Amino acid sequence: MLGTRSKFPRLFPVLTTLAASLLLAQCAREEPEPVDAEPVLADPATAPAITAPTALTRAALLAATSRAASAYVAGERSEGSEALVGRPFTLRIPFGCNGPQTTGTEAAGDGLARWSWGPENQTIQLSLTPGDWLNTALISGVADRSDWEAVEGFWIPRPWLTAGDCSTVRADPLQSGGGAPSPQTVGLAAVFKSDDSRVGRRNGRAYAFTSRPTGDTPLVAPVGGYRVVLEGRLTGFPDGQAVRCRASSPDQRPVCIAAIRLDRVAFTTADSSVLLSEWRPG
């Protein structure tokens, strides 16, 4: 009996140490006090970028006018035309592909670019005179245009060509009389309102440039003509449509024009590698 009771004093320190260990383990498992987290700021480099609308090409603009022409003859509203309002555009229009053209008074103000020889073929003269379209049938029929003070027009010749290059088709020399050119059916109408700046208006004046020889090297006729570049933004008509069409007969292709704000006009060589002259009407 005495031997048995003597074990309790030795067990007491062991039990005390075990209890202390269990208490410490329980404390370690307790959750720490929550700490307010700092706000995570978005990385500017990963923020979604705002993409600017791409500029309409010649092909895209011609496709829009074709849809508008089809809707017009069907008596329908052109679908998707409103979405084009505000879109920028860049057009390269070839001219003088088959040689010089007259710049006489009969050609002034027709909205077409051309080149011709100067006196004694010593210079080459490039010109583009916008047409005065304010009182034409296409514009005069526009409702709510009382604040339109001037409308200067530019034609896009050969609208069946979606690329801004010269046609490879040549006139048949054996055909008597030659083929009469098709009338113009697609154009751009630069609209000027009464409260707009008058600086960019041509008022019958041509965009003109004169090419002169360098040193003793004489000028030669350009291969492939020249290019006129038109840049700007579609503004649309008061009804919200970007393109307006009209036809005087069901058997005629409608004439369609887009209302624009013109920002730049330029003359370049055929391959666009050399900028000859430019204007920024806006």
Structure confidence by residue, pLDDT tens digits, 203-212 = 999 999 999 9
Antiparallel, parallel or unpaired: β 255-269 and 186-193:
parallel
Residues contacting residue 41 through CB under 8 Å, at least 6 positions apart: none
Residue 7: the pLDDT is: 47
Range in 16-25, 90-99, 148-157, 248-257 the model is least confident about? 16-25
Is 50 within the bounds of a domain? no
Is residue 264 within 8 Å of residue 231, measured between CB atoms? Answer: yes
Is 244 within the bounds of a domain? yes
Rounded to whole angstroms, how far apart are CA atoms 113 and 92? 12
Residue 96's pLDDT band, with cuts at 50, 70 and 90, is very high
Is residue 244 within 8 Å of residue 138, measured between CB atoms? Answer: yes
Is 194 within the bounds of a domain? yes
State phi, psi for 111 to the nearest 5 degrees.
75, 20
Residue 268's pLDDT band, with cuts at 50, 70 and 90, is very high
Is 53 within the bounds of a domain? no
Is 282 within the bounds of a domain? no
Is 10 within the bounds of a domain? no
Q: Please give the share of the chain, as a percent, with pLDDT higher than 90.
A: 56
Residue 253's pLDDT band, with cuts at 50, 70 and 90, is very high
State how many domains the chain has: 1
Is residue 235 within 8 Å of residue 196, measured between CB atoms? Answer: no
Residue 131: the pLDDT is: 96
pTM of the model: 0.78
Per-residue pLDDT of 171-221, as tens digits, reads 776 666 667 788 999 999 999 988 888 888 899 999 999 999 988 888 999
Residue 41's pLDDT band, with cuts at 50, 70 and 90, is low
For the chain, what is the mean pLDDT? 83
Residue 229: the pLDDT is: 97
pLDDT at 141 over 50: yes
pLDDT at 50 over 60: yes
DSSP H helical segments within the chain, as ranges? Answer: 2-5, 8-29, 58-73, 137-140
Is 276 within the bounds of a domain? no
Of 282 and 23, the structure prediction assigns the larger pLDDT to 282
Rounded to whole angstroms, how far apart are CA atoms 61 and 258? 9
Of 107 and 185, the structure prediction assigns the larger pLDDT to 185
Query: CA torsion sign, 164 to 234 to 136 to 71?
Result: positive
Residue 103: the pLDDT is: 52
Strands (E), the chain: 88-95, 113-117, 124-128, 131-132, 148-155, 186-193, 207-211, 226-234, 243-246, 255-269, 275-279
Is 23 within the bounds of a domain? no
pLDDT at 140 over 90: no
Rounded to whole angstroms, how far apart are CA atoms 210 and 221? 14
Rounded to whole angstroms, how far apart are CA atoms 278 and 27? 81
pLDDT at 261 over 80: yes
Domain of residue 229, residue span: 58-166+183-266
